[in-house]
Structure 1
């Protein structure tokens, strides 16, 4: 974690987005994820809940024969985006230019889809990136007391949901927004008006429900959900972007698949599967009657609440989705026999499966694909969105940008370049002349092809050099493995070889044209080094100049390696993202703060569900203290010269009762 400043002294634009390629952030995220996963494997915190589990009755929150509620997910990243979305969600009514007839009042029920703070879920991240942004955005005349329901995502689990538990489970102090938080577990069920139900599920880091969660939900479905009623399933991740079946083994369905099958067997209608986790908006729908079901339903991903943008043109997002109710003949017991499978397929024309058609994406795939090219310089861009002139004027901001930004990743690459060269260059000395190797001073008469052959040969003479090159190979393949082992190998290996090529080339160029060997040999060793002061100085220079030459050469190698390695990684990210791969790993360094939004729902007097995706393409980049002292809230408003966010309805749909 960086040096966080809290309170009024840290406006939104000073709360920089998380630099996901900062080595410290990567190390911390990996450490916390492994630690929590290890705890869950041995003692799943979800199974420690006790007492009766009851559905929350939200029907009393309806006003004027209409029930409004909001859904926001993936909020606590950069302050500009988080604060902009929070202001819009908490405003009594959404002002929409050109849509005077459309009234969209704020809902009294606020549903949070997880990932409240990044990169982890510690108390300081929650305060810095989540609590203070929402508290500052709360209107002064906030008369209607809200009810908040929430589920955790993977980043909320990085501290074993300790912070999530304190904020949303048994929060008797009503700490968050002075709102009512009625849930007693990390998952919930809410009874909505006109026979609608909202199930909020918790997967922890295991990709499925735990046994206790499944059993209490199963009992509630059997006793309270009636045939013909409509169900919304809120998931912590859009599992439908994974291959059909979600890797469940034959004979042993996942518990959430069995829960969906139980709902259908009960006569309920699963009308919407809703999730955040992917930081964009995508809606896909299936028509009534398709796949043997007498209702239409939607798959909706809406993780646009404040985190960096994920592409909508990525393959796993745009690939065809299908659904089927499967009877597993390999199941040993009846409770394992039926499962609902939803996911991507390679053959979208499969007739017996229920098909989903893409209806809306925000941003649209063309805009998303265009943003991919910006990745070429992503590892060098300012972490806080500041212009380089502003960084140079403020040494503290410049230092913070380096230490807390992505620029440490190219620097790490430069160090790896240096380590690869240093370990490999051992054999380029007179000691290995018998093996065909030459000292760097001889490179002036050696062509590049001959040098490269010697360089590859040197890899097998120095085990340490081989290990450093192997580490670089593993790093490139691990980043590319997001889309599977095949993509990891086919793109990661050439990418790693390119970095090895650059490292060798830099060494050859510096050795041939750097003239460092001339500096190292410019002073001959005196015959009698202790004879007088001049001889002692000459002796000192004779022994120190080679060290100085080596340090200068190493420093130049690190700097040039950081520049070339960072640009190579950036171009690789741009190309892969453009082709629809590495949607997370290639877009996270871009840290794009635009295309943010949330969902506002209304259940009307006839029981129809109307959904509105409210989005803004850009968010303000500078804020100032509210000059209206009487208003007091919101605490910060757009600074002079900053355009206010232009909110609009990006998507509108209806699921009829």
Structure 2
């Protein structure tokens, strides 16, 4: 955090995206996730909420007409993308076009500001410290806020509700609580933040509800949260505005799209997860679950179902995590494979309260229940074909500086030498603070692997079939490779270094499960062969020890980084490594949010508002009252906001 500069003089393009393959970032994220997960296992902070769970009623004061609300998730990564989305969401009148193939017949091209902003979590990366929240999220949204004196905002105040995702939990949701829990005047955007827990229930006009769920880092509801939502289900004939009645329509906001995991989400027989029981209780009460909505995956995907599971209405699975974080692929297997809903009556359950569950997820091969409900793909943004093409950016992803625009920033002042010094400093920051540190780490691993394994290439081990390092160039490369693998069993330290390299490849591949580890083992052997080849080249050309060490280190940086790029590109192209490959690319485009409208008849209309590209350079706004604070530089194209998808759910 020491290099971060806060305030009005640090524009979005200097708030560079997180370098997810920087060794420090990897270690920090792993450390914070393990520490918080361990803490939650012993003391779940969600159990500290003791205030009465209150329904947030958005029908008070509603007199008819269209009711607008927004959903945005996964912001707080790169400044360009986060600020672009924040400015669009808060625009009093947002001009939009209509994307090719999207049918919209009932909407104007100037969208009004919404009454309610729903945030889906992961609001700051890589952790959730006060500094990260301020630098990557709060300041971006505050700078994008229009003038509080504008006519569009004079007669209403924005309401904000939010749930945390996993990165928000990395500080045990301390920062999240400070900004979103309790309705204080100094909260986020000076908006109303009426929720008193990390989860919420919001009633919208025409009997629509949003239930925002908090999974913490354990993948499920805690007991207190589960009971709070169960208490909202009306079981009597009383007419109350604070309970959900049969026939009401519910949107379940999840912190992650659990439906991209296998059906059942790993719950054991006889003991379903609490959120599965909650869904069963809602359906059994005659309440309609019309949409399961989540962020977490940084793209937009909509799937729908109309028949099956004894349900006579359409419901949707919607993922929209396009608020500012790096892009996730839409062609990934777990995203594009068939999803099904299954209502299960579990005879193995010991008590009646845990007998019924509703499961949504990837269908197991060769299995299909008679009453399953299948979801068909409707829309992806970006398209699956575009997503596949972006996979090839991995070939150079690890060698890119964090940003190249800092080299030409206007703030460089002084004489020529001073300006050059400032720009060299920006380049240094871009290289040493970016993914390029990962290839440097690989170069060090290559060097250590060779150094430790070279111990046996001395006269002392000639009796074991080895030769002196000075004679390596006298034998062929295949013969040397055989000796290299043999040497691993003579040098325990070399074996350990090679095991670290294999473990690194395996840990990255484990995103796709245990089967992917076998492929990573083969791939790690390629790295071992590459390191051995670099050592052989040094011997073949009779390089001195210093030159040989430089060849091995620099060769490890270039060859190791390129091999990882090839591996990422190929696996990602065929639907694997959705997170680990695309986080290296750190693509800033295809960003957006969901804007919803409930009309006079109670029909919910959803519009995915997206832009393919975001500006890469900003200047201070000198017009009017300097709000929003920054605008695109003259040579930058403005975001082309279009309705990328439109859908409707009748009441």
The answer on 1:107 being equivalent to 2:114 is yes
Kindly state the Cα deviation for residue 458 of structure 1 after the two structures are TM-superposed.
0.6
Correspondent of 2:650 among 628, 640, 656? 656
Tell me the matched-pair count: 621
Match of 1:330 among 345, 348, 373: 348
- Helix, strand or coil for the counterpart of 2:359? strand
Equivalent residue number for residue 525 of structure 1 = none
Q: TM-score, normalised by structure 1?
A: 0.92
Q: 2:140 aligns to what SS in structure 1?
A: helix
Q: Distance in 1 between matches of 2:399 and 2:407?
A: 11
In structure 2, relative to structure 1, the CA distance for the partners of 1:641 and 1:119 (3 Å cut) is same
| Corresponding residue of 1:584 | 579
Tell me, which stretches of 5 or more residues in structure 2 are unaligned?
Answer: 99-103, 236-242, 410-419
SS in 1 for 2:143: helix
Per mean C-alpha deviation after superposition, the further-off stretch among 424-433 and 392-401 is: 392-401
Q: Matched residues in 1 for 2:431 and 2:553: separation?
A: 16
**Which SS does the other structure have where 1:94 is aligned?**
strand
Hey, what's the Cα distance between the residues in 2 that align with 1:174 and 1:193? 28
TM-score by length of 2: 0.93
Which runs of structure 2 are paired with 1:508-547 in the superposition (5 Å)?
A: 508-516=536-544
- Residue 14 in 1 paired to residue 33 in 2? no
Are 1:613 and 2:620 counterparts?
no
Q: Which residue of structure 2 aligns with residue 469 of structure 1?
A: 498
1:542 equivalent in structure 2 = none
After superposition, what is the alpha-carbon deviation per residue over 1:333-365, rounded to whole angstroms, capped at 9, x for unaligned? 111000000001135865421010100000000
**Equivalent residue number for residue 370 of structure 1:** 389
Question: Which residue of structure 2 lines up, in the alignment, with residue 643 of structure 1?
Answer: 637
- Inter-partner Cα distance in structure 1 for 2:40 and 2:292: 25
Cα deviation 1:36-57 (Å, max 9, x = unaligned):
0000000000011113111110
Indicate conservation of the 8 Å contact 1:477/1:493, yes or no. yes
For 1:597-636, what per-residue CA distance to the aligned partner results, in whole angstroms no more than 9, with x for missing partners?
00000111111100000000000000011131x2310110
- 8 Å CA contact 1:68, 1:602 repeated in 2: yes
Q: 1:61 to 1:359 in 2, by over 3 A?
A: farther
Q: CA deviation at 1:393?
A: 7.8
Separation in 2, partners of 1:66, 1:8: 36
**2:273: which partner in 1?**
254
Distance (whole Å) between structure 2 residues aligned to residue 393 and residue 34 of structure 1: 38
2:323 pairs with one of 305, 309, 323: 305
Whichever of the two has the greater Rg, that structure is 1
1:208 counterpart residue number: 220
Query: Secondary structure in 2 aligned to 1:380?
Result: coil
Q: CA deviation at 1:128?
A: 0.3
CA distance in 2 between partners of 1:97 and 1:194 (Å): 28
Residue 449 of structure 1 corresponds to which residue in structure 2?
Answer: 478
DSSP-derived class of the 1:285 partner: strand
Q: Partners in 1 of 2:12 and 2:32 — Cα distance?
A: 26
8 Å CA contact 1:481–1:488 kept in 2: the answer is yes
Query: In structure 2, what is the Cα distance between the partners aligned to 1:421 and 1:388?
Result: 37
Could you say which residue in structure 1 is the equivalent of 2:415? Answer: none
Contact 2:450/2:531, CA 8 A, preserved across alignment: yes
SS at match of 1:634: coil
SS of aligned partner of 2:312: coil
Deviation at 1:484, TM superposition (A): 0.6
Runs of 4+ in 1 over 6 A off after TM superposition: 387-393
Q: How do residues 35-74 of structure 1 correspond to structure 2 at under 5 angstroms?
A: 35-60=35-60, 62=62, 64-74=64-74
SS at match of 2:482: helix
C-alpha contact 1:21 1:406 (8 A) present in aligned 2: yes
- Quick one: structure 1 residues 171 and 439, their matched pair in 2 at CA, closer, same or farther if it must change by over 3 Å? farther
- What is the RMSD computed on CA atoms of the aligned residues? 1.7
Tell me the SS of whatever aligns to 1:149.
strand
Contact 1:61 1:109 in 2 (8 A): no
Counterpart among 480, 488, 491 of residue 509 in structure 2: 480
Change (3 A) 1:387 1:502: farther
Report if the CA contact (8 A) 1:126-1:163 is conserved.
yes
Q: Which residue of 2 aligns with 1:429?
A: 458
The answer (yes or no) to whether the contact 2:117–2:158 under 8 Å persists in 1 is: yes
Contact in 1 for aligned 2:95/2:109 (Cα 8 Å) = no
Q: CA deviation at 1:559?
A: 1.1
Partner of 1:607, secondary structure, is: coil
Gaps of 5+ in 1: 517-549
Q: Is the 8 A contact 2:405 2:617 kept in 1?
A: no
